[in-house]
Structure 1
Amino acid sequence: MLTLKGKSVFAGITIGPLALFHRNTISTASHTVENPEVEVIRFQKARDESIEQLKGLYDKAVQKVGEEQAAVFEVHQMMLEDDDYVDSVEEKIRNGKINAEAAVDQTAQELADMFRHMEDAYMQARAADVLDISRRVEQQLCGGAGIDFSKYDHVIIAADDLAPSETLQLDTDRILGFVTSSGSTNSHTAILARTLGIAAVVNTGNQLHNDVDGLMAIIDGLTGMVYIDPDEDTLSQMRIKQQEEKACKARLEQVRHVPTVTRDGRVIKLFANIGNPGNLPQVLANDAEGIGLFRSEFLYLENSDYPTEEQQFEAYKKTLEVLEGKTAVIRTLDIGADKQVDYFDLAPEVNPAMGMRAIRICLTRPDLFKTQLRALCRASAFGKLAIMFPMIISVAEVRKAKKILEEVQIELDEKAIAYDKDMEVGIMVETPASAVMSDELAKEVDFFSIGSNDLTQYTLAIDRQQTALDAFFDSHHPAVLRLIQQTIENGHKAGIWVGICGELGADLTLTETFLRMGVDELSVSPPAVLPLREKIRSLDLNKA
């Protein structure tokens, strides 16, 4: 038996024969050409044909996964039309006098390498997109023959990685799942797999070869484990686990569309965290009662320049319209630290997690901040929107942020532009400073949302991105829990509600602890909503 450990993309257990994924061979070997202009024309023709293919894939994706997820193929079209990409290929052809296939491949590798070395995980995942569009062009240059997906029938696919276009073309009624040796949980492929409900594990680090083709395999999407040619004991255990998973899903359906309330009558708000409007179907599918953390920086990460007020307004407005009256707590810009954007021109920092980020950028660039606040205020007229300021460490910061917000609202009043004048304004408590000062901060805002991820990082002085320190990282550390309890108590003394929006909120071993502390709201990833509701409804806080 061969055992692999990777990263789970979609929590599910599937058992079936393994099939290696084969792509048509494409030759990108470099050779000298006599007439570079002929090669440029070949490239331009292949690029145009690829763009037409992508338009067709977009239409197919809209029908299959909706507009938000289909947008990846619009992004791919834009990448193929990008001047930097096109100029790089054509310069390599002309200056190096090489064939178009080699020029496309060299450009792809250079750009992919650039993305891989970015600090932000989202931008790192864009390396796969560059390689995907380039392979599409190379395929056209080599004759245009595509992959025959019909031969993958009731199998688990094994590949080095799968491009978004390849994932989309998998027949989800016939594919049991897939496992890849590379890949990222932030990639478009992973997002599509989650949307399509395909059991998948990525980044196992092990390239599989022909000797495993056709062997029985098991994907455990709950743990990220993959078992190839399992022994009888493992197979038996995993079949039992598979049945337990099905029973668990059936049980969770019993808590769909019911109140999130403990046995002794304590009502808890159960919200979801999302990174962009594309996650809204997951919010609704998992029956979240609203959005407790909307990470607005996706608008900045996906743009090549600062997003306009209209771009932001439309994204927020659409979110509220989809929620149909449910609350959306939108965190203002949190760029910096592990989320770097080139056009912000931030100075290099030795320790960016403690540097120029989040509210610090907004307060030092008020025009940038005002653009976002205007978009948020205007969108608030279309639903229940709350604004949340991140990385607060002082009362002075809150007052300065609120003053800028008031200036924006005065401008809107002067222009008779509607907005919700009762819109709640809160802060994230994610630094020890804000937790310790929570008694004073509570007087300034309508709510607290405790960001347990950064609060743990800063309290323990351990970089949560540094996997080598995992043995020292304790998210249940008494110091972290004391700061959370202190924040909740101080919030309630001032009459405001307090939530938790970090990963600890979904930790079922801490749910009762948090409820006994008095937490009012928990905001978690969409798939964690129903398990958490089941846990809350099982608790009786009157019992010792």
Structure 2
Amino acid sequence: MREFKGVGVSPGIAIAKVFVLHSGGSFNLPKREITPDQIPGEITRFEDALARTRTEILEIRRKLSDQIGRESSDIFTAHLLILEDRTLIEDVIEVIRNEQGVAEYAFATVMQRYFQAFSQINDEYLKERISDIRDVGRRLLGNLCGEEKRRLEELPEKVIIISHDLSPSDTATLDKSKVLAFVTEIGGPTSHTAILGRSFEIPAVVGTGKIISEINNGMTVIVDGTHGVVVVDPDQATIDKFTSEGDRFVQISGELEKLRDLPTETLDGKRVVLGANIEFHHEVASVISHGAEGVGLYRTEYLYMNRIALPTEEEQYEAYRKVAETMNPRAVIIRTLDLGGDKFASTLEIPHEMNPYLGWRAIRFCLTRKDIFKTQMRAILRASAHGNVKIMYPMISNIYEIREARELLNLSMAELEREGKPFNRQIDVGAMIEIPSAALTSDVLAQEVSFFSLGTNDLIQYVLAIDRTNEKIAYLYEPTHPAILRLVEMTINNGHRGKIWVGSCGEMSANPKIAILLLGLGIDEISASPIVLPKIKKAIRSIKYSDAREIAQKALSLPTGKEIDQFLNEKLKDICKDLVDE
């Protein structure tokens, strides 16, 4: 038995067999050992992946040759030669045999040797060829890992998934009914795994460090998503202990569910709108059952993932319409396409960037690919005829982006009018405030939109200059950092001066103590994963607005995020001890 400590990002306890999922995007894979009798099977898997990769590259070369000429497609001939390199193939097979590691590990190990060798060559032309090797390597590794992902879609029993990391494309086709918990070696409170765990309403722990090397598929694992604990190969006494704690969690959750139909209102009558963050239509049932008053964030990029062709206008319209009709008359805020960062759609062939979080993503991508953007706008507008739909633009950094998006929205409206298709001409349009420049100029932006929604996941990342998925600097991720709180206060005040409402849809809002702080800062709407909404509602219903204001002002006067966090913890204990995770 061995215990690992990480960050609990979605509450609850799960006990089940483990399914290890490797990612195809990284060449730094942990070793997973195999037995001698499994070696031939791993070699066959590697050779099959070689064949599939070669077929894919031949097809790409053929298409490019037809479209832009043979000369420009010849680069893929070099890719084919890499795949046919007998030295590389034999090196991988040797690692499988001698180190008794799975094919993914063996191939990634050999690739790293190649990268190291090429980086030390003085010839600049040869140095540049490392990108070709890396590209082919990613494709082949993706085929190897894709085999696991296909098995992931057809799980025969309920499992706990453990991976180095989980990307949206890894899990977009996941069978929710077969997954009891998530665990990743890296990541933080706003990583995709954290969001997915809360969306699925299952326990999740991130940032455990090197756990995969200690486990094999089929081992029993305990995941405590409340306290961030993972126990590998537990004894019976430990299983009994966590089973009892799990029963207690279910009991408390049942008591919170009794608040579902009560208003989100302070003891002295201050109302806050409680919304839910969703990705798929099937989550609407959870939104309603947890007492949300609307959808505060409908992430749409998942419609674009793991598919051969882009979603059509009709397909998007049907997806949005279903949510709008089910939630009507409650509001549904649809965020326009936010690809980039950690979310990619292979169909769009978004180029690899040194820092994708600061690159061609979200509104920047949409305003460049207006054909894709307009298709989505038309679909959202058409869905607005079936419910209380609002549009929200992500990653706004300046006023020009809002105005350019408005021109495209007006063009879409004009087209739909000519076609006789109904839509809400008075549809509300909002902006996500998740870039420092947007927060600092929120007084100006407030004149251009109907509402703001604070996207605190990225705001914290950009203000504090940290990668929110990097476990080495996870200690720097502080939602209560004074700089964050001052920007949040500034945005709320500027929004109110501009006569618009201000919400928060980041994962920061999922914590009851932060919800009380946001309440005191004057927030109008809080949107989070459905599973945490009852806790937020109980916290708000347990305090006076006047007291929340005092708490917020005191927090703003403290010099460090740790002091603010400690202060908020103490206040939450005074207000509602049941909501504090010991």
| Structure 1 length-normalised TM | 0.69
What residue is the counterpart of 2:212 in the other structure? Answer: 205
Instruction: Spell out, residue by residue over 1:42-70, the C-alpha distance to the aligned partner (whole angstroms, 9 max, x if none).
Output: x9xxxxxxxxxxxxxxxxxxxxxxxxxxx
* AA matched with 1:387: I
Pairing partner for 2:377 from 358, 373, 376: 373
Q: C-alpha distance in 2, partners of 1:401/1:360?
A: 10
* AA matched with 1:321: E
What residue is the counterpart of 2:152 in the other structure? Answer: 163
Instruction: Spell out, residue by residue over 1:231-290, the C-alpha distance to the aligned partner (whole angstroms, 9 max, x if none).
Output: 899778746644542331122122112211111111111111122334334323433222
Residue 286 (structure 1) aligned with residue 287 (structure 2) = no
Q: C-alpha distance in 2, partners of 1:220/1:128?
A: 27
What residue is the counterpart of 1:139 in the other structure? Answer: none
Write the mapping of 1:61-76 to structure 2, written as runs, cut at 5 A. none
Q: C-alpha distance in 1, partners of 2:480/2:320?
A: 34
Instruction: Spell out, residue by residue over 1:451-497, the C-alpha distance to the aligned partner (whole angstroms, 9 max, x if none).
Output: 01111111122222333222333221111111111111111112111
Instruction: Spell out, residue by residue over 1:303-350, the C-alpha distance to the aligned partner (whole angstroms, 9 max, x if none).
Output: 333322112112111221232432111111112233233443445433
* AA matched with 1:364: T
Pairing partner for 1:259 from 242, 263, 268: 263
What residue is the counterpart of 1:353 in the other structure? Answer: 357
What residue is the counterpart of 2:41 in the other structure? Answer: 28
CA shift, 1:385, in A, is 0.7
Comparing 492-501 with 282-291, greater Cα deviation is found at 282-291
Q: Say if 2:169 and 2:306, in contact at 8 Å, map to a contact too.
A: no
Q: C-alpha distance in 1, partners of 2:304/2:240?
A: 48
CA shift, 1:197, in A, is 7.4
SS of structure 2 residue aligned to 1:266: coil
CA shift, 1:193, in A, is 7.1
What residue is the counterpart of 1:456 in the other structure? Answer: 460
CA shift, 1:7, in A, is 7.6
Q: C-alpha distance in 2, partners of 1:348/1:187?
A: 16
Query: Structure 2 unaligned runs (5+)?
Result: 21-33, 61-79, 86-92, 94-101, 112-130, 136-140, 186-210, 551-582
What residue is the counterpart of 1:514 in the other structure? Answer: 518
Q: C-alpha distance in 2, partners of 1:498/1:196?
A: 38
Q: C-alpha distance in 2, partners of 1:312/1:109?
A: 41
Instruction: Spell out, residue by residue over 1:511-542, the C-alpha distance to the aligned partner (whole angstroms, 9 max, x if none).
Output: 22111111011111121111111111112123
* AA matched with 2:212: G
What residue is the counterpart of 1:388 in the other structure? Answer: 392
Q: C-alpha distance in 2, partners of 1:433/1:446?
A: 19
SS of structure 1 residue aligned to 2:449: coil
What residue is the counterpart of 2:506 in the other structure? Answer: 502
CA shift, 1:433, in A, is 1.0
SS of structure 2 residue aligned to 1:262: coil
| Structure 2 length-normalised TM | 0.65
Query: Structure 1 unaligned runs (5+)?
Result: 32-38, 44-78, 97-101, 119-123, 134-161
Pairing partner for 2:249 from 236, 245, 251: 245
Q: Say if 1:334 and 1:359, in contact at 8 Å, map to a contact too.
A: yes
Q: C-alpha distance in 2, partners of 1:465/1:30?
A: 33
Write the mapping of 1:73-92 to structure 2, written as runs, cut at 5 A. 84=56
What residue is the counterpart of 1:130 in the other structure? Answer: 147
CA shift, 1:25, in A, is 7.2
Pairing partner for 2:307 from 303, 306, 318: 303
Q: C-alpha distance in 1, partners of 2:15/2:42?
A: 39
Q: C-alpha distance in 2, partners of 1:266/1:489?
A: 17
Q: Say if 1:184 and 1:190, in contact at 8 Å, map to a contact too.
A: no
SS of structure 2 residue aligned to 1:480: helix
Identity among equivalent positions (%) equals 35
Residues 356 and 132 of structure 1, relative CA distance in 2, 3 Å threshold: closer
* AA matched with 1:463: D
Q: Say if 2:504 and 2:527, in contact at 8 Å, map to a contact too.
A: yes
Q: C-alpha distance in 2, partners of 1:293/1:29?
A: 43
Residues 5 and 386 of structure 1, relative CA distance in 2, 3 Å threshold: same
What residue is the counterpart of 1:99 in the other structure? Answer: none
Q: C-alpha distance in 2, partners of 1:9/1:206?
A: 22
- C-alpha RMSD over aligned residues: 4.3
Q: C-alpha distance in 2, partners of 1:30/1:232?
A: 38
What residue is the counterpart of 2:3 in the other structure? Answer: 3
Aligned length: 441
Q: Say if 1:7 and 1:202, in contact at 8 Å, map to a contact too.
A: no
Q: Say if 2:431 and 2:451, in contact at 8 Å, map to a contact too.
A: yes
Q: Say if 1:13 and 1:222, in contact at 8 Å, map to a contact too.
A: yes
CA shift, 1:365, in A, is 2.7
* AA matched with 1:165: E
Pairing partner for 1:433 from 424, 433, 437: 437
Q: Say if 1:387 and 1:424, in contact at 8 Å, map to a contact too.
A: yes
Q: C-alpha distance in 2, partners of 1:128/1:491?
A: 47
What residue is the counterpart of 1:323 in the other structure? Answer: 327
Q: C-alpha distance in 1, partners of 2:361/2:175?
A: 32
Q: C-alpha distance in 2, partners of 1:490/1:282?
A: 33
What residue is the counterpart of 1:471 in the other structure? Answer: 475
The answer to which structure has the higher helix fraction is 2
SS of structure 2 residue aligned to 1:491: helix
CA shift, 1:300, in A, is 2.1
Q: Say if 2:281 and 2:323, in contact at 8 Å, map to a contact too.
A: yes
Q: Say if 2:9 and 2:226, in contact at 8 Å, map to a contact too.
A: no
What residue is the counterpart of 1:138 in the other structure? Answer: none
SS of structure 2 residue aligned to 1:510: helix
What residue is the counterpart of 2:23 in the other structure? Answer: none
SS of structure 2 residue aligned to 1:28: helix
What residue is the counterpart of 1:339 in the other structure? Answer: 343
Residues 241 and 439 of structure 1, relative CA distance in 2, 3 Å threshold: same
What residue is the counterpart of 1:403 in the other structure? Answer: 407
Q: Say if 2:457 and 2:506, in contact at 8 Å, map to a contact too.
A: yes
Q: C-alpha distance in 2, partners of 1:127/1:292?
A: 38
